[in-house]
């Protein structure tokens, strides 16, 4: 069993948990994910590894309530145990294979949308510890939905906040802020975008032609995490790929975003029905 040693509600619908999982914490790297099962009959839920502490043997996950299973996870309290926590799964970010000397001084631009801030954080932290220069553009609908602001600010050079309603930072889209940074003369060697599929699509359109390599993370498409179910099939550069075992990170300019967006809506009716049952206590 995997004990929840810390729980914190970052917003009314977003929950951070530290989970005791020593073997997973010892092997985890930025870019990877794990799968949680809250109870024996529960659904397998893929969640990005937001952080890990090898000395304490813990991993950190961030979950947003969007359906029955995520509601069940967020309802658990510190001291409770998950039935299963499996990982680390997926391939780590490419930069972990590079020597520290190659990363020192390299300039990165990260674009995080909504819950995408959680998987961005361990990557930025890893690069910061190795001397890379990192700017992060963080977007959310409102200021109340911004997460990990202090933690992110502590591990990067600049954090640029964008909100749809103008309640904090730039009033508008993250792509507008990215365009402004480039127009102001900011230069970057690499860019990474993690967040809603539609956001990553438009970040790719914004940066196309800039000659800045772009990586996107397709962690929202997964179900079983092993490639067996086929739910995570995507097309990248005209080839069928499996996000859970060949990703979750891919060339942001080569992803067929329209196909991925259609795939995300396949089970919307079943998800809504399951969430309704969970709310009335039948889930």
Torsion sign, CA atoms 44, 221, 30, 121: negative
204 within a domain of the structure (yes/no): yes
Round the average pLDDT of the chain to a whole number and report it. 89
Number of residues assigned to the chain: 283
Query: Could you give the percent of the chain with pLDDT greater than 70?
Result: 89
275 within a domain of the structure (yes/no): no
Same domain assignment for residues 224 and 117: yes
270 within a domain of the structure (yes/no): no
Domain that holds residue 10: 2-89
pLDDT at residue 276 greater than cutoff 80: no
Same domain assignment for residues 183 and 103: yes
The count of domains in the chain is 2
Per-residue confidence band for 281, with pLDDT thresholds at 50, 70 and 90: low
Give the closest residue to 266 by CA, choosing from 200, 205, 220, 226.
Answer: 220
273 within a domain of the structure (yes/no): no
Same domain assignment for residues 82 and 146: no
> What's the average model confidence in pLDDT over 202-213?
95
Per-residue confidence band for 266, with pLDDT thresholds at 50, 70 and 90: low
* DSSP code string of the chain: -EEEEEEEEEETTEEEEEEE-HHHHHH--TT-EEEEESSTTPPPEEEE--EEETTTTEEEEEEE--SHHHHHHHH--TT-EESEEEEEESPPPGGGGS-HHHHTT-EEEEEEEGGGHHHHHHHHHHHHHTT-EEEEEEEESSGGG--SHHHHHTTSSEEEEEETTSSSSEES-HHHHHHHHHHTT---SEEEEES-HHHHHHHHHHHTTTT--EEEE-GGG-SSSSSSS-TTEEEETTEEEEHHHH-SEEETTTB-HHHHHHHHTTTHHHHHHHHHHHHTT--
Query: Residue 78 maps to which CATH number?
Result: 2.40.30.10
Q: Are 33 and 106 in contact (CB under 8 A)?
A: no
Highest mean pLDDT pick, 112-116, 134-138, 228-232, 259-263: 134-138
Instruction: Name the burial class of residue 213, with classes exposed (0-12), middle (13-18) and buried (19+) by CB atoms within 10 angstroms of its CB.
Output: middle
Query: Residue 154 maps to which CATH number?
Result: 3.40.50.80
Choose the final residue of a domain: 89, 112, 135.
Answer: 89
Q: What is the pLDDT of residues 141-152, one digit of tens each?
A: 999 999 999 999
Same domain assignment for residues 99 and 227: yes
Same domain assignment for residues 254 and 119: yes
pLDDT at residue 280 greater than cutoff 60: no
Instruction: Name the burial class of residue 86, with classes exposed (0-12), middle (13-18) and buried (19+) by CB atoms within 10 angstroms of its CB.
Output: middle
283 within a domain of the structure (yes/no): no
Same domain assignment for residues 198 and 111: yes
CA–CA separation, 95 vs 155, rounded Å?
17
Per-residue confidence band for 271, with pLDDT thresholds at 50, 70 and 90: very low
Q: What is the pLDDT of residues 84-129, one digit of tens each?
A: 999 999 999 999 999 999 999 999 999 999 999 999 999 999 999 9
Q: What is the pLDDT of residues 12-35, one digit of tens each?
A: 999 999 999 999 999 999 999 999
The predicted pLDDT at position 244 comes to 81
């Amino acid at each position: 069993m995997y004990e929840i040693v810390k729980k914190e509600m970052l917003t009314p619908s977003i929950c951070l948990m530290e989970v005791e999982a020593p073997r997973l914490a010892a092997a985890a790297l930025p870019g990877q994910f794990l799968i949680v099962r809250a109870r024996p009959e529960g659904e397998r839920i893929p969640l990005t590894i937001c952080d890990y502490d090898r000395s304490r043997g813990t991993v950190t996950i961030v979950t947003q309530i969007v359906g029955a299973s995520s509601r069940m996870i967020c309802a658990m309290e510190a001291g409770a145990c998950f039935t299963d926590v499996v990982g680390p799964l997926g391939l780590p970010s490419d930069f972990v294979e590079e020597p520290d000397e190659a990363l020192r001084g390299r300039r990165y631009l990260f674009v995080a949308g909504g819950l995408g801030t959680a998987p961005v954080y361990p990557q930025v932290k890893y690069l910061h510890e190795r001397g890379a220069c990192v700017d992060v553009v963080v977007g959310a609908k409102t200021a109340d939905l911004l997460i990990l602001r202090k933690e992110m600010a502590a591990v990067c050079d600049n954090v640029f906040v964008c909100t749809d309603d103008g309640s904090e930072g730039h009033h508008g889209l993250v792509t507008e802020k990215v365009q402004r940074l480039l127009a102001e003369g900011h230069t970057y060697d690499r860019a990474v975008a993690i967040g809603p599929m539609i956001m990553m699509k438009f970040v790719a359109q914004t940066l196309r032609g800039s000659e800045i390599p772009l990586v996107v993370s397709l962690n929202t498409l997964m179900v079983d995490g092993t490639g067996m179910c086929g739910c995570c099939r995507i097309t990248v550069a005209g080839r069928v790929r499996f996000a859970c075992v060949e990703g979750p990170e891919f060339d942001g300019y080569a992803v067929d975003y329209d196909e991925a967006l259609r795939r995300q809506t396949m089970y919307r009716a079943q998800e809504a029905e399951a969430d309704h049952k969970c709310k009335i206590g039948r889930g």
